[in-house]
Amino acid sequence: MKEIFVTIIFNFASIIIFSIIYINLKDEFVYNLSDNSKNKVQIQVIDFIMYASTIQSGVGLTDIMPNTFVSKLITIIQQYIMISSYLLVVYFFLNSKKIR
């Protein structure tokens, strides 16, 4: 049960940390929609929280997308952290079942 709470806290912390990073890189993101009128609208904080949440959950579908090398690299780092954390959770879950 402790592993579940640690996993939840880790994922929420990752979302918060990466949301802050993406907000600081706000000029390096663009709307992912083909509608040209959306490009004139400024991306809001909720868009970055949504972006970080969908990347962390593994869905990855949002209205914004990274537009520069740095923003793409940060997104890739978050994806690797997400994949690694889930593999560790599975590993610890399987090991805890073997011990009992």
For position 65, what pLDDT does the model report? 92
DSSP-based helix, strand, coil % in the chain, nearest 5: 75, 5, 20
What is the C-alpha to C-alpha distance for residues 9 and 12, in angstroms, rounded to an integer? 5
- Does pLDDT of 1 surpass 80? no
Query: In which band, very low, low, confident or very high, does the pLDDT at 8 lie, cut at 50, 70 and 90?
Result: confident
Q: Residues, the chain, total?
A: 100
pLDDT tens digits for range 33-86: 666 555 567 899 999 999 999 999 988 788 899 999 999 999 999 999 999 888
For position 93, what pLDDT does the model report? 72
**Structure-model confidence comparison of residues 98 and 88, the more confident one:** 88
Domains with residue ranges and CATH for the chain = 2-99 (1.10.287)
For position 6, what pLDDT does the model report? 81
Mutual angle of helices 45-57 and 69-99, in 10-degree steps: 40
Query: In which band, very low, low, confident or very high, does the pLDDT at 2 lie, cut at 50, 70 and 90?
Result: confident
What are the structure tokens assigned to 35, written together?
Answer: 């509608």
Give the mean model confidence (pLDDT) for residues 20-26: 96
